[in-house]
A and B are shown apart, each in its own frame.
Chain A
Amino acid sequence: MERCLTDLEQHPDDSALLSEIFRAVHTIKGTTGFLGFTRLEKLSHAGENLLGLLRDGKLAASAPVITGLLQLLDSLRSILKNIESTELEGESDHTALIALLEQLKSPAESEPPATAPVPRTARARKSTRKVSAAPHAPTRAPSVRQPASTVAVEEDSSAALSPPPAPVQTEPLMGATAPAHASASESTLRVDVALLNRMMNLVGELVLTRNQVLQATSADPGMTLLSRRLDMVTADLREAVMKARLQPVSNIFSKMPRLVRDLSQQLGRRVRLEMEGQDTELDKSLLEAIKDPLTHAVRNALDHGIEPPEVRAGAGKDPEGVLRLRALQEGSHVVVEISDDGAGIAVDRVLAKAVERGLVTADRAAQLPERELLQLVFLPGFSTASAVTNISGRGVGMDVVRTNVERIGGKVEIESAPGRGTTLRLRIPLTLAIIPALIVRSAGQSFALPQSALSELVHVPPERATAIEWIEHAALYRLRGGLLPLVFLDRLLQVSSDSVPDPACDRFIAVLDADGRRFGLVVDGLADPEEIVVKPLSATLKGIGLYSGATVLGSGDLALILDPGTIACKAGITITEETAASDSVSAQADPEAIDYLLLEMAGRRAAVPLADVLRIEQLPLSRIESVEGRPVLHLDGHLLPVVDAGDLLSVPADHPEAKVIIVVCREGSRQVGIAVSHVLDVARGSALFEAGTEQQAGGVTLLKQQVTGIIQLEDAASLPLVAASARTFEEAIR
């Protein structure tokens, strides 16, 4: 109904919309009268009167009228909520609202004399009943069968307050709306969420059993076909159950038109809301979790982003601003974009404010690159609004957005162009129940580290054990010039008694980034990355704080899932200081330089920008399939074109078990795989300039004192066959 009302404002003449709203209010009124909820009935009745006039065309759907109706909707909703929880209507007083609704009707008075007596008698309850029915009776004809409503009117007038007429009124109405719902109710079913959770659990169990069966039967050729079938069916089943938990984002998007409307009126903005990708689906619990961040982001966009109409006109822009909400699926993530075409973020103001609030020192601020400056808006306590309003300015907005999104394993990105607008991108994992994780070992036990917090891994072999340096009891590691604080997992968990780690064994540093706190977690060993099914812990163990859950590994062992955020807190790592320091050092050295992933392909060195790399997978060659002669990879239900510049994929057939490393990169909105023989290192590379002309050389960079070719990901796009077939395949899969 809310959607209908905001739509109605856009199209005041849409009679179908009006009838729909009218029907909704009328049904509420009829049913509540029948059930004896007099307050609710009175309120809906007042609304119905107003709507009746609207529908007859005696009143135009002007902004104040819509506002009144939205208020009505809110009150109705609050009463209904009250009834739901306490079975009582509550004591709230709605006479003011009823009076408002009455008053809104008054413009109609002057025009058609027939309705003139209505508002005047409205206060006396008995007559209201009678009169209310009167103006509606003729107009109800198009949607409701005439005889039924006449009966209602007659009974109304004879027994003014008696509830019995109500069911008579609602019955035909339900009849009228029923056909529309019939098809939906035949093909859908309400399912208890608890049942879905249980199914998810059982499927997780099945996945585990499958893994064990696969391991046990791998030697037996007779079982290969059967176990492969089991493998496929299990994967399909898992996907189907996961899908059952998904809900379209329209469930939260549909709240936005109302919010935008209310806010733009309050703020004196003119805003057009555009929504896209509303049928994109997301796990129910995640959808709940992004509701608040989304609301905050929209508020921010309206309050700080889109300028008042006169300012916009002065800047040569359309006085009506555009707020765009977009949802799309990108690999195993759903991206929700909130973009406005407003003023953008004034970087210098952000900087001034951050310095003023003491969030960053002036010296450091001067060194920060622009991209880093934008990140400052996410710091707690940050706000550029000069006054605290009830919409924003308390400095909690963006902080809340980031905390909430990161809590569910998502990421927030921000882009802004002064004068042209801001885009906030929330990247949310498809599901919470299954997350990609790296299994690490420490003190003889396995632990799972969520991939979302992991930024890189460093191997410290015994001969380089001195690379871990100490200041008193604080261990540090030099990572590309900056000092990274280290946390020893075994000592944190108090499972190892020795105060100084044994230098004779291999160490691995997992560089983690938890809510802006960067640190290295030292573990004894790394196992494979695995998609893990998250199982909740009992309250007793949750109380420890370091673990966010537990999981069952493919081997059948249990592993605790570590929570990087609390580990950072426990170890006393503070926010961003280290990152800001190390980043500004490297940024100072060469602001143009970016990090590259250094690769080797059949003896040749090549590089891809690290920012584009999504993941690195080692796969058997048989996983690479071919479409129209082009190599493609089927990964997590998506098809990626594979760039095979080193000709690595044409390995002789006598090596069926041969493996290949695929670097999955982001190229625009697509993903592309690159076949490589080794992943060498991460290095910072800067642009090269041709001697004499001083023109920047394209496609090469200087990495570790060697000129290295950069793999042009766009080249994959210029192969139309690959691109086109990948797309049609993806569609076919869908």
Chain B
Amino acid sequence: MSVQRCGSSDACAHLDEICSVRLNEALFGVPIRHVIEIVGACRAQPVPLAPAFVGGLVHYRGDVLTAVSLRQVLGLPARGKPEDFLVLESSGGAFGLLVDSVGEVLNLSSVDFEPNPSTIDPRRKDLFAGAYKLKDKLLVMLRPDRLDPACLGKLSV
């Protein structure tokens, strides 16, 4: 799955490479091995009549990708400014994930990882894998396979 737990051969603590993304003040993370490319400042082409989670279409290396807007998935209002997007790999091909901005790639120790708390909204439980405890805040891990438009489409139906 998206986050490696304690390795079997190594002792417990090993480092995971996480690409951090920002949405308002909140920090989210995607395991770097699911990220094909990070593309800056792009304006997605809106698709009328598309499901709410679709942020639009983005052009990536000759292909037209369906982009999922993290804001819209989490029920936040659209930003109306150019956004960064990550090209993520999934079983059904690549798709885009629109976020406010992409931050640095962090090396986080699996010791700091905690699974989802039981109090979290059940609808979010599916999208989040858990959280890393950073010094001053939490970094919520996303599950790229659940953000795939085909998967979100099924959920919303």
- A residues contacting B by CB (< 8 A) are 201-202, 204-205, 208, 443, 445, 493-495, 535-541, 543-544, 546-547, 549-552, 556-560
Partner of A550, one of B49, B57, B152: B57
27 residue pairs bridging A and B, Cβ less than 8 Å apart: A201-B63, A202-B62, A443-B48, A493-B49, A494-B48, A535-B62, A535-B63, A538-B92, A539-B149, A539-B153, A540-B50, A540-B149, A540-B153, A541-B47, A541-B50, A541-B57, A543-B153, A544-B49, A547-B47, A549-B64, A550-B57, A550-B64, A551-B64, A552-B62, A557-B45, A560-B45, A560-B47
B20 interface residue, CB < 8 Å from A? no
Contact B64 A558 (CB under 8 A): yes
In the bound complex, residues from chain A placing their C-beta under 8 Å from that of B95 are 538
Please tell me if the beta carbons of B66 and A540 are within 8 angstroms of each other in the complex: yes
Are A493 and B48 in contact, CB atoms less than 8 angstroms apart?
yes
A433 to chain B, nearest CB (A): 12
**Chain B residues positioned under 8 Å from A494 (CB to CB):** 48-49
Residues of the B chain whose Cβ atoms lie less than 8 Å from the Cβ of A539: 92, 149-150, 153
Cα distance A204–B62 in the bound complex, in angstroms = 6
Q: Is the CB of A558 within 8 A of B62?
A: no
Residues of B within 8 A of A495 (CB): 48
Task: Report A570 CB to chain B, min CB distance, Å.
Answer: 10
Contact B51 A540 (CB under 8 A): yes
Most A CB contacts (10 A, CB to CB) among B47, B54, B95 go to B47
B93 at the interface (CB under 8 A from A): yes
Provide the main secondary structure of the chain A interface.
Answer: mixed
**9 extra A-B contacts, CB within 8 A, seeds A445-B46, A552-B62, A557-B45:** A443-B48, A445-B48, A493-B49, A495-B48, A535-B63, A538-B92, A539-B92, A541-B66, A547-B47
Interchain nearest-CB distance for B1 vs A (Å): 23
Q: What does the 1/0 interface line of B42-61 toward A look like (CB < 8 Å)?
A: 00011111110010011101
Count of inter-chain pairs, beta carbons less than 8 A: 73
Please report B residues at the A interface, Cβ cutoff 8 Å: 45-51, 54, 57-59, 61-66, 92-93, 95, 149-150, 152-153
Q: Which residues of B contact A560 (CB under 8 A)?
A: 45, 47, 57
Are A544 and B61 closer than 8 Å at their CB atoms?
no
| Complex CA distance for A690 and B152, rounded to whole angstroms | 73
Q: Is the CB of A205 within 8 A of B62?
A: yes
Q: How far is the CA of A443 from the CA of B49 in the complex (A)?
A: 13
User: What are the 10 tightest A-B residue pairs by CB atom distance, in nearest-first order?
Assistant: A205-B62, A493-B48, A558-B45, A538-B66, A535-B64, A540-B149, A550-B64, A201-B62, A540-B153, A495-B48
Question: Which chain A positions have C-beta within 8 A of B49?
Answer: 493-494, 544, 546
Contacting pair A445 B45 (CB below 8 A): yes
Query: Which of A205, A208, A546, A550 has the most C-beta atoms of chain B within 10 angstroms of its own C-beta?
Result: A550
CB-nearest residue of chain B to A443: B48
Instruction: Say whether A541 contacts B62, CB under 8 Å.
Output: no
- Separation of A205 and B50 alpha carbons in the complex (Å): 26
Judge whether A552 and B51 touch: CB under 8 Å.
no
Q: Which of B46, B50, B62, B152 has the most CB of A within 10 A?
A: B62
B149 contact set on A, CB distance < 8 A:
538-541
B61 and A205 within 8 A (CB): yes
Chain B nearest CB: distance from A288 CB in Å? Answer: 22
The answer to whether A538 and B50 touch (CB under 8 A), given A558-B59, A558-B64, is no
Residue of A nearest to B68 (CB): A540
Q: Let me know if A544 and B47 touch, CB within 8 A.
A: yes
**B17 CB to nearest chain A CB (Å):** 27
Say which residue of B59, B66, B150, B152 sits within 8 Å of A552 (CB atoms).
Answer: B59
Interchain nearest-CB distance for B83 vs A (Å): 15
> B64 to A537, Cβ gap below 8 A?
yes
**CB contact under 8 A between A541 and B45, given known A535-B63, A552-B59:** no
Complex Cα distance A541/B80, Å?
A: 21
Asked whether, in the complex, the Cβ of B153 is within 8 Å of the Cβ of A558, the reply is no
Q: Tell me how far the C-beta of A241 lies from the nearest C-beta in chain B, rounded to whole angstroms.
A: 12
- The CA of A544 and the CA of B52, in the complex, are separated in Å by 12
Contact residues in B for A543 (Cβ distance below 8 Å): 153
Q: In whole Å, how far is B66's beta carbon from the nearest beta carbon of chain A?
A: 4
The answer to whether A538 touches B46, judged by C-beta atoms less than 8 angstroms apart, is no
Cα–Cα, bound, A495→B61 (Å): 28
Nearest residue (CB) in B for A205 is B62
With the chains together, A624 CA to B56 CA distance in Å? 42
Give the docked Cα–Cα distance between A549 and B66 (Å): 11
A546 nearest CB neighbor, chain B only: B49
Return A462 CB to nearest CB of chain B, in Å. Answer: 25
CB-CB under 8 A from B46, the residues of chain A are 445
Closest Cβ of chain B to A659, distance in Å, is: 30
In angstroms, how far is the closest chain A Cβ from the Cβ of B10? 38
Q: What separation, in Å, do the CA atoms of A557 and B64 have in the docked complex?
A: 11
B residues in contact with A538, CB < 8 Å: 65-66, 92-93, 95, 149-150
> Is B150 a contact partner of A558 (Cβ separation < 8 A)?
no
* A530 CB → nearest B CB, Å: 16
- Chain A residues lying within 8 Å of B64, measured Cβ to Cβ, are 535-537, 549-552, 558
Give the residues in chain A near B93, CB-CB below 8 Å.
538
Residues of A close to B153: CB separation below 8 A: 539-540, 543
CB-defined contacts of A557 to chain B, threshold 8 Å: 45
Determine the distance from Cα of A145 to Cα of B58 in the docked complex, in whole angstroms. 64
CB contacts (< 8 Å) of A551 on chain B: these are 64
Among A201, A202, A538, A540, the most chain B Cβ lie within 10 Å of the Cβ of A540
Q: A540 contacts B54, CB within 8 Å?
A: yes
Chain B residues within 8 Å of A549, by CB:
64
Residues in B whose Cβ lies below 8 Å from that of A202: 62
Q: What residues on A are CB-neighbors of B65 within 8 Å?
A: 538
Distance, CA A495 to CA B63, complexed state (A): 25
Nearest Cβ on chain B to A242's Cβ, whole angstroms: 15
Kindly state the separation between the CA atoms of A493 and B47 in the bound complex, as whole angstroms: 9
Shortest CB-to-CB span from B144 to chain A, Å, is 15
Closest chain B CB from A315 CB (angstroms): 58
Residues of B within 8 A of A559 (CB): 45
A510 vs B50: C-alpha distance when bound (angstroms):
24
Question: Which of B50, B51, B64: most chain A CB closer than 10 A?
Answer: B64
When distances are taken between beta carbons in the complex, the residues of chain A under 8 Å from B62 are: 201-202, 204-205, 208, 535, 552
**In the bound complex, how far is the Cα of B75 from the Cα of A134, in angstroms?**
82
C-alpha spacing A558/B149, complex, angstroms: 19
Give CA–CA (A59, B66) in the complex, Å: 66
By beta carbon, the residue of chain B nearest A547 is B47
Report chain B residues within 8 Å CB of A546: 49
Contacts of B58 in A (CB 8 A): 558
By a CB distance below 8 angstroms, the chain A residues around B150 are: 538-540
| A538, A541, A550 pick with most chain B CB within 10 angstroms | A538
CB distance from A196 to the nearest CB of B (A): 14
B59 with A556: CB separation less than 8 A: yes
Bound complex: CA A683 to CA B54 (Å): 46
Shortest B86–chain A CB gap in Å is 16
- In angstroms, Cα B93 to Cα A538, docked, is 9
How many Å from the CB of A523 to the closest CB on chain B? 13
| Nearest-CB residue, chain B, relative to A549 | B64
Shortest beta-carbon distance from B93 to chain A in Å = 7
- Nearest neighbor of A206 in chain B, beta-carbon distance: B62
Q: How far is the CA of A51 from the CA of B119 in the complex (A)?
A: 79
The residues of A that contact B51 with a CB separation of less than 8 Å are 540
Closest CB in chain A relative to B38 CB, distance in Å: 19
